[in-house]
Amino acid sequence: MSLRERYGGMTRAEQGVSLFVCGFTALLVVALLTGGLTPSYTLYLAGLTGMYVLLSLGLNAQWGYTGLINFSVAAFFGLGAYGAALVTASNSPLAIPGGVLVGLVLAVVGSAVVATAIAIPTLRLRADYLAIASLGLAEVVRQIVLNQRDWTNGSGGLRGIPDVFAGWPVLGPLPGELPGLQFAEYAVGIPGLFRIRVLGFTLGEPFWTDLLNFVAVVVFVAAVYLLLRRVHRSPWGRVLRTIRSDEELASALGKDTYAFKLQSFVLGSVVMALGGVFYAYLVAYVDPGDLEPINTFYVWIAVILGGSGSNRGAMFGGFVVVAIREGTRFASDILPARLPVDVPVLVDVYGAIVSDFGSTRLLIVGLLIVLVMRLRPEGVLPPQRELLWPSALEETDE
């Protein structure tokens, strides 16, 4: 299928989203070439996006599929990040022996155990109880991480987390062996109109390491996405979607709704923990601040904005949240400090927003949510109309 045909076959929302993603990526490439972004920061942004995508895919597997309200995204993210960091960080008080894989297993098993423990008493009750219990769990996990210093190093955090592939055969030494690439600086432009400098940086070992991390994130996100897509359109996913609409109906038809809800909750929590594992390697440092409730709500925003119940929507939502979180850092540099037109109240408001984007970021997020809910309550990319096991239709569709 040619690109043009493929584009023509999309819904309007899909076209809009593809154009937005392409445009945004193009903007990043331009910023990269003109020196607005450094290569390693660009890769960091891409990795951060991958992490948010994992978190929103995880929440989507709970809220979007089954309708489970989980307010402890940050806790499961934290369990993943600390699970990885406790094994590999240089100042880990526990000094658990093992490498990346042991950390990964610890994160997955730890989050699955905690998810099961919180789910067993609450899933039999009405939906609101899980919401309340998970809100409490998030705070409990954060307080434990903050105060159990002999395990987690408390507010000091865990530092010195090595690269994902450090010590691995082939992949470990690879970045050091790759040649450094030097890009000379060029000046381009239209004479008399404008001139900008492009390129002019060197890609050395740190860049290759970041690139390898990034490849790892991409591979993992792709694997998780494919797995979730498979289970979502399976009979298993169909039961979850039935539970979301009407749990009584599902149980009247002989489905053990409690078992399905438990599986959905554990699956989503493990995916969130994977996001945490990547975060630990991405920034090489974790501290209890990463477990703040605000991170949970960013992920909720991503899922609702993208379209609850849609894997692609969750991915897009993750992308948008990173764009807002990181994009607002630059907005104050790009936007003029003063409003060009002189309207008294507006000038003050504008000045307050532009001078302090860190604080007004949440205002923007809130406005965005209000707009999406007003104009498109099902989210930007709602789930496809019919989800059936793909090979089941081949012979019956005549």
**Which residues of the chain form contacts with other proteins (CB under 8 A)?**
230-231, 234-236, 238-239, 241-242, 244-246, 248-257, 263, 267, 309, 382-383, 385-389, 391-396
CB of 111 or CB of 213, closer to other proteins: 111
Q: What is the dihedral of CA 108, 111, 114, 119, to 10 degrees?
A: -100
Rounded alpha-carbon distances, angstroms, from residue 134 to 68, 120, 267, 297, 393: 10, 12, 16, 13, 39
CB of 103 or CB of 382, closer to other proteins: 382
CB of 234 or CB of 360, closer to other proteins: 234
State phi, psi for 196 to the nearest 5 degrees. Answer: -130, 155
CB of 116 or CB of 263, closer to other proteins: 263
The nearest distance, CB 386 to other proteins, in angstroms, is 5
Dihedral-angle region of residue 392 (phi above 0 means left; psi in -120 to 50 means alpha; beta otherwise): alpha
The nearest distance, CB 371 to other proteins, in angstroms, is 23
CB of 238 or CB of 361, closer to other proteins: 238
The nearest distance, CB 290 to other proteins, in angstroms, is 30
CB of 205 or CB of 256, closer to other proteins: 256
Tokens of 101: 């894989």
Dihedral-angle region of residue 89 (phi above 0 means left; psi in -120 to 50 means alpha; beta otherwise): beta
| CA 306 to the chain's CA centroid | 12
Which has the closest alpha carbon to 286: 80, 45, 76? 80
The nearest distance, CB 97 to other proteins, in angstroms, is 31
CB of 337 or CB of 388, closer to other proteins: 388
The nearest distance, CB 275 to other proteins, in angstroms, is 21
Indicate the SS3 state at residue 170.
Answer: coil
The nearest distance, CB 64 to other proteins, in angstroms, is 10
Q: Where does 233-356 have alpha helices with state H?
A: 235-245, 247-252, 257-283, 293-306, 311-334, 344-355
36-46 in b/e burial notation, b at 16+ Cβ within 10 A?
ebebeebbbbb
The nearest distance, CB 249 to other proteins, in angstroms, is 4
135-170 in b/e burial notation, b at 16+ Cβ within 10 A?
bebbeebbebbeeeeeebbeeebbbebbbbbbeeee
The nearest distance, CB 113 to other proteins, in angstroms, is 18
How many CB atoms neighbour CB 299 within 10 A?
A: 28
CB of 7 or CB of 389, closer to other proteins: 389
The nearest distance, CB 291 to other proteins, in angstroms, is 29
Which has the closest alpha carbon to 308: 250, 393, 373? 373
CB of 258 or CB of 285, closer to other proteins: 258
Residue 195's contacts (CB-CB under 8 Å, 6 or more residues apart) are 187, 188, 189
